[in-house]
Amino acid sequence: MRLTIAFILFSCLSFGQEKLIVFYNESGEKIDKQEFIENKDYVKNLDLYFKNDTIQIALLVTRGKFGQLDKNTFEHLKLYLTELTDKQIDSTQNIVINYLTALPKKNKNTSSKSAWNVFHRDYTKKLHKIANINQFWINSTECDNLEYNHSKKINWIVDKDNLFTKLFFPYKVRYGNYILIKPDGKYYYYLGEHSKYQIWENAEKYFK
């Protein structure tokens, strides 16, 4: 059985006794609770939780994925990026997207800024030395924590049509994702928490 119904994502799920709990693996196949627990691996997957009025869902989602955009979809994506940023994308350029998710939500009790190392000055500097890259900072339409994520020095651009959600990120995860896209439309994305070192390493491998 494959998961075909959309459920509402929520971050803290208390499994109540009154609702059926159903577990699924990365392929959307139904598994038992023990297999779900045994297959959880934060390096390889994320465990996400959903609910509706009658059922609770626990789902494993693969963090890293390779894929291929068809020609029309890739052209649409490049035009969309140009529309958002006024940056022309050369057909020979690789694309790197740093995508900020809506979670965690804004903490009104702090004025501190994120210490995430992708905001360090050397991140983009080294990235551009790896290959011919056009890099973009894109944020979810539901993001309310841009100030915490250095909006004064990072030119965050809102994904106003939710195109990245539709193409790559159907599930809400914490912190952010990144995407590497080659000039032929082949891509690799990684979901959730990551570092600049991880992006550098994967970019060097993927764009070589």
Q: Which CATH number does the domain housing residue 185 bear?
A: 3.40.30
The model's pLDDT over 137-173, given as tens digits with 9 standing for 90+, comes to 999 999 999 999 999 999 999 999 999 999 999 998 9
- Structural domain span for residue 139: 64-206
pLDDT at 18: 60
Same domain, 57 and 72: no
Q: How is 81-146 classified by DSSP, letter by letter? A: HHHHH-----TT-EEEEEEE-SBSPP-TT-------GGGSHHHHHHHHHHSSEEEEEEE-TT---T
Same domain, 111 and 194: yes
Among the listed residues 56, 52, 174, the one whose alpha carbon sits nearest the alpha carbon of residue 116: 174
pLDDT at 106: 87
pLDDT at 17: 52
Residues with pLDDT less than 70, the chain: 1-18
Rounded distance, CA 28 to CA 94, Å?
Answer: 31
182 falls within a domain: yes
- Per DSSP bridges, beta strands 8-9 and 45-51 are antiparallel
Same domain, 37 and 55: yes
104 falls within a domain: yes
Domains of the chain: total: 2
